[in-house]
Amino acid sequence: MRCPYCLSETNPSLQQRDYRKVYVCSNRDCNAEIHRDYVEKWDIHKGFIGLVGFSGHGKTSYLTILFYLLKHLKRGNVWGNFYFETTDENTHNIMFNVINVLEKKSELPESTPQNFPLPSLIYFKNIPLFGDYFLSFYDTAGAVYENINRITNMGRFVASSDVVLFIISIDDCGENFVNEMERLLDIYVNAVYNHLRINLKEKQDLIIVLTKGDMINELPDEMKRFLQEGSFKWYSMDEGSKLKLLKEKSDDIKLWLEKIGGGGFIKGAKEKFKSVEFTLVSSTGAAPTGIKLATKLKPEDPKRVLDPFLWALEKIGRKKIIRRGWW
């Protein structure tokens, strides 16, 4: 199996550490402790999701709001018996301290530091139709994506992920947003394909996440409505057939980007990755002031934040559920 912390092939073994007996990665440069279920439940899908994007485009905010929503879904009955567990101290801290601050004070965490953080490794259970998954989420500072060498040195874990989310805020790209999108793609592909020698066409699926969607003035009215309708309640099992719209809307977003000048970016992405899907999200519903949200966050506020998560599940599991259009 692949170690969730170093992403290398590993044959973990049980070792005694103080009073504990734990599985340990066999790679000497890693030597990380691995949760027993990750090793012993070998038949459960294991996936790795990386986040890519420039500083200020909302990578950390998106991931934090996603975890906030998943925590809310765990507590309710929208997804039936859906449940999850953290598998290490770092992920436990994020779920029960960082997310707790967001819930209580409506404060987002600071942007990710340039030194690559530990992944968030979560054991998901009973996701409707998809089942059980181990998912590792990798986030790193936007400054890493400003040049090719930084990705090589600090973003190699994201580059080795099964699915990568390109977090792009058109509003924060400025007037020449097309150039910024193409620049991000060119830097990432050059570093990963050329320097790290990873064949993206064989190894990685790409999901474009147009974040801060509520701030895009040029959106067609139909896309605005789809965005605003996408609170967590939209994903109820009783109305799960709506998920067939995800593929339709992915195609609609692609066509819209082509019309406003993004054709070169789209062709480059399709050329280099296994597959490319397009999503539109609004993580907080309104622009924050620094790390403080304008109003107290409610579960209904984030819009379409679960779309990229569901696409990632499908790509990792290869079930083609969304593309077949049923739940």
Task: Give the C-alpha separation, 44 to 146, whole Å.
Answer: 36
- Is the pLDDT assigned to residue 319 strictly greater than 90? no
What is the pLDDT at residue 24?
95
| 182 and 317 belong to one structural domain | yes
Counting the structural domains of the chain, the total is: 2
Task: Give the C-alpha separation, 5 to 82, whole Å.
Answer: 25
pLDDT above 70 as % of the chain: 83
| 51 and 25 belong to one structural domain | no
| 205 and 320 belong to one structural domain | yes
Backbone angles phi, psi at 319, to 5 degrees: -95, -15
Answering whether pTM is above 0.75, one says: yes
| 115 and 178 belong to one structural domain | yes
Task: Give the C-alpha separation, 117 to 168, whole Å.
Answer: 21
| 128 and 180 belong to one structural domain | yes
| 102 and 146 belong to one structural domain | yes
| 27 and 90 belong to one structural domain | no
| 3 and 143 belong to one structural domain | no
What is the pLDDT at residue 114?
42
Task: List residues bridging with 253 in a β-sheet.
Answer: none
Contact 128, 80 (CB under 8 A): yes
| 246 and 295 belong to one structural domain | yes
HEC per residue, the chain: CECCCCCCECCCEEEEECCEEEEECCCCCCCCEECHHHHHCCCCEEEEEEEECCCCCCHHHHHHHHHHHHHHHHHCCCCCCCEEEECCHHHHHHHHHHHHHHHHHCECCCCCCCCCCCCEEEEEEEECCCEEEEEEEECCCHHHHHCHHHHHHHCHHHHCCCEEEEEECHHHHCCCHHHHHHHHHHHHHHHHHHHCCCCHHHHCEEEEEECCHHHCCCCCHHHHHHHHCCCHHHHCHHHHHHHHHHHHHHHHHHHHHHHHHHHHHHHHHHHHCCCEEEEECECCCCCCECCECCCCCCCCCCECCHHHHHHHHHHHHCCCHHHHCCC
What is the pLDDT at residue 56?
61
For residues 236-254, average pLDDT: 80
| 202 and 129 belong to one structural domain | yes
Listed range (99-103, 142-146, 182-186, 262-266) with the worst mean pLDDT = 142-146
What is the pLDDT at residue 116?
39
Residues 6+ positions from 84 with CB-CB distance below 8 Å: 70, 74, 122, 123, 124, 125
CATH of the domain at 310: 3.40.50.300
CA angle 298, 79, 103 (to 5 degrees): 25
Q: Which domain does 3 fall in, by range?
A: 1-42
- Is the pLDDT assigned to residue 154 strictly greater than 70? no
For residues 113-129, average pLDDT: 77
| Among 234, 286, 251, residue whose Cα is nearest residue 61 | 286
Q: 60-77 pLDDT, tens per residue? A: 889 989 999 999 999 988
For residues 124-135, average pLDDT: 93
| 24 and 49 belong to one structural domain | no
The number of beta carbons lying within 10 Å of the beta carbon of residue 43 is 6
| 15 and 66 belong to one structural domain | no
